[in-house]
Each structure stands twice: as C-alpha cells, then as structure tokens.
C-alpha cells in the first residue's frame, strides 16, 4: 500500500473510533438508568406475579376461561426487540428464540405483536401477520401501553383467535450477559408462572430472600369471581410484560455499550497496526532513496 | 396492644409504604373497606381514591391511589399494587 492510502485509512479509523466512543458513552449512561429501572422494577413484578401465581393455584382461575388449556395451534407471539441495531447479538438471539418458539406452526397460525422495529421487520419480511407494531424508542414507557396490548391479546384469546400467547424477550443478567428468554403468558398455568417468578431475582432488597409462594387454599374474591379475574388477570399479565420490557431495555443498552466498547478497542488496535505499517513503508522509502544516492555517488567516483 | 400486619403499597418504580400497620382503609370496587390483622385471604381490584394507613404510633397517613390497583390479603400480610 502506498503511504498516502495508509494515511487516509488511519484517519478514517480514527474518525470511526470517535463515533463508537461517543456511542459507548451515551449507551453507558442509558445503561445505568435502564439497569436501575429494571432492578427496581423486579421487586414490583415479583410481588405482582407472586400474587398471580397464588391466584393461579386456586380453583377460581382454573375455572376461568383465561386459565384453561385449549387444543389448537393458533399462537400470539409477543416479540420484544430494540429499534436499532449495533447491539451485538442481542436481537438475533431474541429472534432465534422466537423462531424456535413458533417452530412447527404454519404461518397462518402465528400472529406477531412486535415491540421494537427489529422484530417487526424480521417477521413481516417472512410473511407473518404482524397484528401490532410498537416502536421501542423511549426509555420511559407508561404501563398503559402494555395494558392496551394485553387487552388486545386477552380479547383475542377469549374470542378464540389465539389458543396460546407467549412472549420472547431478552432477560437481563449482567452487563455482559443477556439471555433470550421465552415465557408463556396465556393461558395461565402454575408451572409457567412459577418459572417466571423464579427467573426474577432481585439484586437486593426486601424480596430477595422471599421463600417459595405458599398458596392459600381459597381466596375470597370480591365482588364476583369472573368479573374480578377478568380485570385482574390482564392487569397482572400487563405487569409481567412491562417487566419483560424493562429487562429488554436494560439488556439492549448493556449489549450496545459492550459492542461499542469492543468496536472502540478494536479500532485502537487497527490504528496502531496501521501506524506501524505506515512507519515501515516510510522507512523503506527513505532507505531506498539513501541507498540510491549512495550507489549513484559511488558509481560516479570510480 | 392491638395486632399489626405487614402492609406493602407499591407502585411500578417505588415502594410507597412497607412496614407494620394496624389497619388500612381502601377504596374497593364495591365501596370502602378496612383491612385489619387476621383478615381472611381475599383479593379485589381497587378504584382510584385514597388509602388510609394507621400505624401503631397512632399516625394516619394517606396515599393517593390512581388510577386504581389491586389489593391482596393472604397469610397475615397485605399487598396493594398500583
């Protein structure tokens, strides 16, 4: 490579480094915020889902339509991804998990609710019905959005448009580890719920040492079973989804921060290597010129 | 001394109340009701309104519940989720 080309390449890499470093800094701030939100939200989600789990054990729920298993293969799939890429393997992991979840079902049997553009693009490109696409832009999301979404899903479930509802999201473990996870939303089932609650491990605080949920044999439900459960179950499922969204947010920003950090480190390496090459080429040119002069002189002096 | 029970009032991002209480009055779907220690296990949705918490030191504190929530009483403790 010529000297000038190397120089241009170094410049370009340095510019890239600046960009990735800036993105890393931005993501780091967002990461701190969303991680705190996710960790704080876990206590609440755990309390709400424990409640739901205790309820699911009682006969009221077993008799409720939202708690009944059905034969049938129609699936409502909630996919929570980010809107933007540059976050390492985060979205591809979630989408891979989602594809596993719908394996063996025909395209017509799956209805996708996409939270985040990546999931929407992925499924609409493959010809799936995307019933609803929500942008995953803001970091502060009102619970009401989730309630709307859950209302739509529960209504569809009751109207037998879907026989099952699952959600795929990325569970936040630590800054370096996010696990694509699938959870079942409807119909309610004790093992599935216990699974979700077990997966929520608060970092610290009141709920961190809570023992397994002891379900009372029966609940007094006021005013009447069907009515109350019709309100309670969607609300609690919305809280579960909200919790998943917070986890996904924390995962997204963590993954992006790490990806950008890797990119910054890599670009530094590239600049160092290129500079070394640049020096070598320059030195070679100098040496060649000097030896040309010397040999020219020697030829003359003989 | 009157018996107390553990009461938690929590919002999505924060705990409003977490501790021992003598009684709590809540706006249920069918009117106001009061929970005291030893209440039977039950669960009900709440309307928007005010929760009135009485603690052992005689203090009464009110919390605004909006837009409503869920109250659950089981095994000697009460949880209010907004």
Interface membership of A143 toward B (CB under 8 Å)? yes
Yes or no: domain B5-81 corresponds to CATH 2.60.15.10: yes
Tens-place pLDDT, residues A29-47: 999 888 888 887 777 787 7
pLDDT for the residue A187: 82
Exposed/middle/buried for residue A103 (C-beta within 10 Å: 0-12, 13-18, 19+): exposed
pLDDT > 90? residue B39: no
**DSSP letters spanning A48-104:** HHHHHHHHHTSHHHHHSGGG-------EEEEEE--SS--STTHHHHHHHHHHHHTTT
Closest partner CB to A232 (pick from B12, B14, B70) = B70
Across the interface, which of B8, B12, B40 has its CB nearest the CB of A41?
B12
ipTM: 0.72
- Residue A259 and residue A266 in contact, taking contact as beta carbons nearer than 8 Å: no
**Quick one: which H or E segment has residue A278?**
helix A225-301
Question: Is the CB of A291 inside 8 Å of chain B's CB atoms?
Answer: no
* Separation of CA A192 from chain center: 20
Nearest CA in chain B to A230: B45
Give per-residue burial for B6-32: e unless 16+ CB within 10 Å, then b. Answer: ebbbbbbeebbbeeebbbbbbbbbeee
pTM higher than 0.90: no
Q: Shortest CB distance from A47 goes to which of B29, B30, B79? A: B79
- State the CB neighbour count (10 A cutoff) for residue A42: 22
Give me the residue from A206, A219, A228 closest to B45, CB to CB.
A228
Determine the distance in angstroms separating the CA of A43 from the nearest CA of chain B, rounded to an integer: 9
Dihedral pair phi/psi, residue A76, rounded to 5°: -100, 125
Contact B29 A55 (CB under 8 A): no
Percent of chain B with pLDDT over 70: 98
Q: What's the CA gap between A47 and A49, in Å, rounded?
A: 6
Q: What pLDDT sits at residue A206?
A: 45
Q: Which of A101, A99, A135, A132 is nearest to A118 (CA)?
A: A135
Partners of residue B28 in chain A, C-beta under 8 Å? 222
A–B: how many Cβ contacts below 8 A? 68
- Predicted confidence at residue A127, as pLDDT, reads 87
CA-to-CA distance for A54 and A136, rounded, in angstroms? 32
Would you state the pLDDT for residue A47? 77
Per-residue pLDDT at A207: 45
Most confident of A176-180, A260-264, B24-28, B38-42: A260-264
Token pair, residue A190, equals 């004790």
- Decide if A46 contacts A242 (C-beta within 8 A): no
pLDDT reported for residue A209: 46
Residues with pLDDT less than 70, chain A: 59-60, 201-226
Report domain extents, chain B. Answer: 5-81
């Amino acid at each position: 490579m010529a000297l000038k080309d190397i120089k241009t390449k170094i410049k370009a890499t340095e510019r890239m480094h600046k960009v990735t470093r800036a993105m890393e800094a931005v993501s780091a701030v967002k990461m701190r915020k969303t991680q705190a939100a996710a960790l704080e939200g876990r206590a609440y989600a755990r309390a709400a889902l424990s409640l739901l789990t205790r309820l699911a054990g009682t006969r009221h729920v077993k008799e409720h339509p939202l708690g009944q298993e059905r034969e049938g293969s129609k699936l409502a799939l909630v996919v929570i991804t980010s809107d933007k890429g540059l976050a390492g393997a985060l979205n591809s992991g979630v989408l891979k998990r989602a594809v596993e979840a719908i394996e063996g079902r025909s395209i017509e049997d799956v209805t996708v609710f996409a939270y985040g553009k990546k999931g929407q693009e992925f499924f609409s490109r493959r010809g799936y019905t995307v019933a609803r696409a929500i942008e995953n832009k803001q970091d502060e999301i009102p619970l009401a959005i989730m309630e709307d979404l859950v209302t739509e899903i529960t209504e569809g479930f009751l109207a037998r448009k879907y026989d099952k509802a699952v959600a795929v999201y990325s569970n936040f473990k630590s800054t370096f580890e996010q696990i694509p996870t699938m959870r079942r939303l409807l119909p309610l089932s004790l093992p599935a719920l216990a699974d979700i609650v077990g997966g929520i491990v608060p970092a610290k605080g009141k709920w961190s040492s809570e023992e397994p949920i002891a379900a009372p044999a029966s609940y007094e439900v006021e005013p009447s079973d069907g009515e109350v459960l019709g309100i309670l179950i969607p609300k609690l499922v919305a809280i579960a989804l909200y919790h998943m969204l917070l986890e996904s947010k924390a995962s997204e920003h963590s993954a992006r921060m790490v990806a950008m950090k890797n990119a910054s480190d890599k670009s530094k390496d590239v600049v160092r290597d290129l500079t070394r090459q640049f020096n070598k080429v320059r030195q070679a040119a100098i040496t060649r010129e000097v030896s040309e002069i010397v040999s020219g002189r020697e030829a003359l002096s003989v | 001394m009157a018996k107390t029970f553990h009461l938690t009032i929590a919002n999505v991002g924060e705990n409003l109340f977490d501790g021992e209480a003598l009684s709590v009055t809540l706006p249920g779907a069918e009117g106001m009701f009061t929970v005291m220690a030893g209440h039977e296990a039950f669960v009900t949705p709440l309307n928007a309104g005010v929760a009135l918490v009485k603690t052992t030191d005689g203090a009464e504190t009110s919390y605004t519940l909006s837009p409503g929530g869920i109250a659950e009483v089981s095994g000697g403790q009460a949880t209010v989720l907004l």
